[in-house]
Amino acid sequence: MKNIVDNICAVRAQITRAAHLTERPPQSIQLLAVSKTRQADELRQAFAAGQHAFGENYLQEGLDKIAALADLAIEWHFIGPIQSNKTRQIAEHFHWVHSVDRLKVARRLSEQRPPGLPPLNVCLQVNISAEASKSGCLPDAVLELARQVAQLPGLQLRGLMAIPAVSTDAQLQQQAFAALRTLLQQLQTELPQLDTLSMGMSGDMEAAIAEGASIVRIGTAIFGPRTYPSNTQEDSL
Ligand SMILES: *Cc1c(COP(=O)(O)O)cnc(C)c1O
């Protein structure tokens, strides 16, 4: 039987170790618990263990959990592909969006952010390995997109997010994370307020932290393996 509380402790220890290896303060790395496919009571257990930020990929599933857990002060992050006709509920119910990859979606999120709420924190998703099948803006187009998104009043542009090509080669993993870090540094010369690199999952968080990750998105290592419907693509999970 998996134990969510023990798993969270183990992941936190792993983050601390990885931070020390590259002489980074462990508090500079935020743990985002990726809770897609998980039941509300599993999130409740994680919350009781001090985990207050959760990431969801599917809008309806996320909205159901936001409603079921309305009594908890959770910071909700949307990390899945965004259909432009579904932006309103994201703008109304989430605190962060990591997967903005085009201006149309950014404009809608900005317009639809309720005026009483602080600007929605957003990261631009970059297709860092330039894979044909992946969502995300291509690296060449990021600067222009960032300039435009930074102007939108309902959004606070925070940084970049990537899901690199799956690789068991630690060096290749690290190269992709380094490329995202370099891209953020380039943007920071014009947009110095950017402070977020959302990168690293259960299988590659050490490499991501070594390259400067400020948010690691961890699902399996906290909640155990997921069971997917057989026809879903990994990119949309
Ligand atoms: C599912 C998912 C994760 C978490 O992956 P694990 O390997 O389970 O840690 C992180 N980021 C995104 C965008 C995801 O879809």
Give domain status of residue 237, yes or no.
no
Instruction: Check pocket membership of 201 for ligand 1, CB cut-off 6 A.
Output: yes
Domains held by the chain: number: 1
Residues pairing with 215 in the sheet? 30, 198
Q: From the alpha carbon of 220, which atom of ligand 1 is closest?
A: 8
Tell how far the Cα of 21 is from the centroid of ligand 1, in angstroms: 24
Give domain status of residue 229, yes or no.
no
Give domain status of residue 232, yes or no.
no
Please tell me the distance from the alpha carbon of residue 149 to that of residue 110, in angstroms, as a whole number: 9
Instruction: Check pocket membership of 203 for ligand 1, CB cut-off 6 A.
Output: yes
Contact 137, 102 (CB under 8 A): yes
Q: Give the model's pLDDT for residue 237.
A: 45
Q: Give the model's pLDDT for residue 227.
A: 83
Q: Give the model's pLDDT for residue 236.
A: 46
Instruction: Check pocket membership of 108 for ligand 1, CB cut-off 6 A.
Output: no
Please tell me the distance from the alpha carbon of residue 124 to that of residue 208, in angstroms, as a whole number: 17
Tell how far the Cα of 79 is from the centroid of ligand 1, in angstroms: 9
Give domain status of residue 32, yes or no.
yes
Give domain status of residue 89, yes or no.
yes
- CB environment 191-204: b (16+ within 10 A), e (fewer): beebebbbbbbbeb
CATH number for 55: 3.20.20.10
Q: Name the residue range of residue 12's domain.
A: 2-222
In degrees to the nearest 10, what's the CA dihedral of 220, 182, 100, 91? 80
CA 67, 73, 79, 83 torsion-angle sign: positive
Residues of the chain with pLDDT under 50: 1, 231, 233-237
Q: From the alpha carbon of 36, which atom of ligand 1 is closest?
A: 1
Q: Give the model's pLDDT for residue 62.
A: 98
For 32, the enclosing helix (H) or strand (E) is strand 30-34
Q: Give the model's pLDDT for residue 230.
A: 52
Q: Which two tokens stand for residue 116?
A: 């009483």
Give domain status of residue 186, yes or no.
yes
CA angle at 16 for the pair 123 and 78, rounded to the nearest 5°:
25
Q: Give the model's pLDDT for residue 1.
A: 43
The model's pTM is: 0.94
Q: Give the model's pLDDT for residue 229.
A: 59
Q: Hey, is 214 helix, strand or coil?
A: coil
pLDDT tens digit sequence for 202-213: 999 999 999 999
Give domain status of residue 234, yes or no.
no
Query: What secondary structure, in 3-state letters, does 105-167 show?
Result: HHHHHHHHCCCCCCCEEEEEEECCCCCCCCCCECHHHHHHHHHHHHCCCCEEEEEEEECCCCC
Give domain status of residue 8, yes or no.
yes
Please tell me the distance from the alpha carbon of residue 107 to that of residue 143, in angstroms, as a whole number: 16
